[in-house]
A and B are shown apart, each in its own frame.
Chain A
Amino acid sequence: MFPYQYTSAIIGIILGLIIFFLIKHDRLHVKFAFFWFIIAVAVIFLGVFPKFFDKIGNFLGVSYPPVLLLVLALSLVLLKLLRTDIERSKLEQRIKELTQRMAYLEGIIESKEHEKQ
Chain B
Amino acid sequence: MIIRKSFFDKKILIIVPAYNEEATISNIISLIKGRYNLDVLVVDDCSQDNTRDVSQKAGAAVLSHCINCGAWCAIQTGFRYALNKGYDIAVTMDADGQHLPEYIPFIIKPLEDNDADLTIGSYTGRGSAGRKFAWSFFRIMSGLSIMDLTSGFRAYNKKTFKYLIADESLIYDYQDIGIILFMLRCGMRVKEVPVLMEPRQNGCSRIFSSWWNVLSYMIDTSFIALTKRLFRDRRHLMCSVNNFK
A-B pair number, CB within 8 angstroms? 47
Let me know if B80 is at the binding interface, CB within 8 A.
yes
B171: chain A residues at CB < 8 Å are 89, 92-93
Let me know if B63 is at the binding interface, CB within 8 A.
yes
CA distance A97 to B170 in the complex (A): 8
A104 interface neighbour in B69, B73, B77, B170, Cβ under 8 Å: B77
A103 touches B65 (CB 8 A): yes
Let me know if B209 is at the binding interface, CB within 8 A.
no
Let me know if A85 is at the binding interface, CB within 8 A.
no
A100 interface neighbour in B61, B62, B77, B167, Cβ under 8 Å: B77
- For the complex formed, measure the closest distance between the CB of A51 and the CB atoms of chain B, giving whole angstroms: 46
A103 touches B170 (CB 8 A): no
A96 touches B66 (CB 8 A): no
Most buried by B among A93, A100, A104: A100
A102: chain B residues at CB < 8 Å are 65-66
With A89-B171, A99-B65, A99-B69 known as contacts, the answer to whether A104 contacts B84 (CB < 8 A) is yes
Let me know if B67 is at the binding interface, CB within 8 A.
yes
A107 touches B81 (CB 8 A): yes
With A93-B167, A93-B170, A93-B171 known as contacts, the answer to whether A99 contacts B81 (CB < 8 A) is no
Let me know if A87 is at the binding interface, CB within 8 A.
no
Let me know if B175 is at the binding interface, CB within 8 A.
no
B62 touches A107 (CB 8 A): yes
B64 touches A106 (CB 8 A): yes
B63: chain A residues at CB < 8 Å are 103-104, 106-107
Interface residues of A in 60-117 (CB under 8 A from B): 89, 92-93, 95-97, 99-104, 106-107
Contact mask B63-103 → A, CB, 8 Å, 1/0? 11111010001001100110010000000000000000000
- For the complex formed, measure the closest distance between the CB of A111 and the CB atoms of chain B, giving whole angstroms: 8
A99 interface neighbour in B61, B66, B84, B167, Cβ under 8 Å: B66
CA distance A27 to B219 in the complex (A): 36
Let me know if B15 is at the binding interface, CB within 8 A.
no
Let me know if B40 is at the binding interface, CB within 8 A.
no
By beta carbon, the residue of chain A nearest B67 is A99
By beta carbon, the residue of chain B nearest A100 is B77
Contact mask B25-66 → A, CB, 8 Å, 1/0? 000000000000000000100000000000000000111111
By beta carbon, the residue of chain B nearest A103 is B63
B77: chain A residues at CB < 8 Å are 99-100, 103-104
B66: chain A residues at CB < 8 Å are 99, 102-103
Q: Give me the interface of B with A, judged by CB distance under 8 Å.
A: 43, 61-67, 69, 73, 76-77, 80-81, 84, 165, 167, 170-171
Question: Which 3 residue pairs are nearest across A and B when measured between Cβ atoms?
Answer: A93-B170, A100-B77, A103-B63
Q: Give me the interface of A with B, judged by CB distance under 8 Å.
A: 89, 92-93, 95-97, 99-104, 106-107
Beyond contacts A100-B165, A103-B65, A107-B63: 17 other A-B pairs, Cβ-Cβ < 8 A, are A89-B171, A93-B167, A93-B170, A93-B171, A95-B67, A96-B69, A99-B65, A99-B66, A100-B76, A102-B66, A104-B63, A104-B77, A104-B80, A104-B84, A106-B63, A107-B62, A107-B81
